[in-house]
Amino acid sequence: MLYYIRMIEHIPQEILGIYRRLKEANFEAYLVGGCVRNLLLERKVKDWDMTTNATPKQLLTIFKEGFYDNKFGTVGLPVEALAKAGVPEKKQIVEITTFRTEHGFSDKRRPDTVRWGKTIEEDLARRDFTINAIALRCHPELVSGSKFDIIDPYHGQDDLNKKLVKAVGNPKERFKEDALRLLRAVRIATELSFTIEEKTWQEMITDAPLINHVSGERIRVELLRILASENVYQGIMLLKDAKLLEQILPELIEGIGVSQKRPGRHHTDDVFTHNVLSLKFCPSTDPIVKFAALLHDVGKPKVMGKDEDGLVIFYNHEVAGANIAREICDRLKFSRKERDKIVNLIRWHMFTVDEKLSDAGIRRFIRRIGVENVKDMMDLRIGDRLGGGTQTAQSWRLKLFKKRIEDQLKPLPFSINDLAIDGNDIIKELKIKPGPRIGEILQKIFEEVDEDLSKNKREYLLKRIRELNL
């Protein structure tokens, strides 16, 4: 009993206030889904979801601040005060959904028909997994103590104790209703370090092709949550073993069995294994960077060949990989910013760390990948090294390279705009009209200054303008 009292204490007063308002209006109310699961596991709750027998129209009468723009009976209720409870800004919306039953799933994504239900048990029957089919009813009107009821018709608490992800009822029916549940099972198991129940697992393997009915956007969201998990390696391997990876990322699967062995090279695994291990060892916590690590050598199977000695070679695999990554990102509806970052990291991940590289070469590297991506590129390189079998995260050359980058990340002429002169100076000095010639001169001057920073002085550059116009 003390455990549950402690659990109740983690429910924000704002949520209990919603309970009170619904009860005062003579309606039932329950916490449901992931928030109940996380309360029982004593994990942080980010999304507070409630269900009630009140219809959307009745909810909007009670909560004037609410909004309703869907056919699933879900009313959104902004609760800014949740910020005080540590809820992220984007999550400061409480979703209150009317009890409902769902019928017909012709597109394998969403119900054809939604009908308002009469009981909490009806509502729980439509949910995906037993650990998400638990409802919690509080009695916040009590001044002392916390009285509550747990409604658990599918024994979700037992599965929480067993650390099992198990479908509610018939797994085939659950996956036919919404094929995204195939990915959700993997994501939840990954986040919680749970095992997927055997019948549910076998049905996932059988039904894996159903994921093709799901939009790229929904797949991307679940994939990024897997990538953000501390157990990301296990998550990707679960996707592979469930036959889901070959559906959503077939390009990655092509690396299975593609050997990289060459005399004197540290690579001992096939391309697929190397990609996944690089993801595992990438120190970044950014799922976008981790996705780039997972795909960084995805181009190798496409360009694999043999050199004059008959040894395997992957000429320009980073270019091929960048093109493939672009196609994948477009298919999964990544934002342009996210896509460009992933493509950029893959395109340039083969950068040299030769200590003989000039300062100008270091600056060109920084400009090529972007100052904002320098740390991410270093993290990708570390993952690449460790995923390739090396025992140290950084070689002495990489450490020196990073130090030189730090030295160069000071106010410098990294672009034409940073020169001591501009196009107006050229127009004035040469008495010419605006045109392509101005850009050509600026570019030439910039290239000279980039090789020798001491030349970025106005007097010197004005002199060079006159010389270049001869």
The tens digit of pLDDT for each residue in 25-68 reads 999 999 999 999 999 998 888 888 999 999 989 998 998 888 88
Pick the CATH number of 2-161 from 3.30.460.10, 3.40.720.10, 3.40.50.720, 3.30.2320.80: 3.30.460.10
Residue 470 to residue 456: CA distance in whole angstroms: 21
Can you tell me the mean pLDDT for 203-221? 96
Please tell me the total number of residues recorded for the chain in this structure: 470
pLDDT at 290: 98
Using an 8 Å Cβ cutoff, are 294 and 235 in contact?
no
Does the domain spanning 170-248 belong to CATH 1.10.110.30?
Answer: yes
Which has more pLDDT, 395 or 346? 346
Percent of the chain with pLDDT over 70: 89
Residue 378 to residue 382: CA distance in whole angstroms: 6
Using an 8 Å Cβ cutoff, are 349 and 384 in contact?
yes
Of 304, 292, 223, 290, whose CA–CA distance to 257 is shortest?
Answer: 304
Which residues have a Cβ under 8 Å from the Cβ of 221 and sit 6 or more positions away? none
pLDDT at 264: 62
Fold assignment, 253-408: Hypothetical protein af1432 (1.10.3210)
Confidence grade of residue 266 (pLDDT, cut at 50, 70, 90) = low
Q: Which residue has the tokens 């005062």?
A: 24
**Has residue 160 got a pLDDT over 90?**
yes
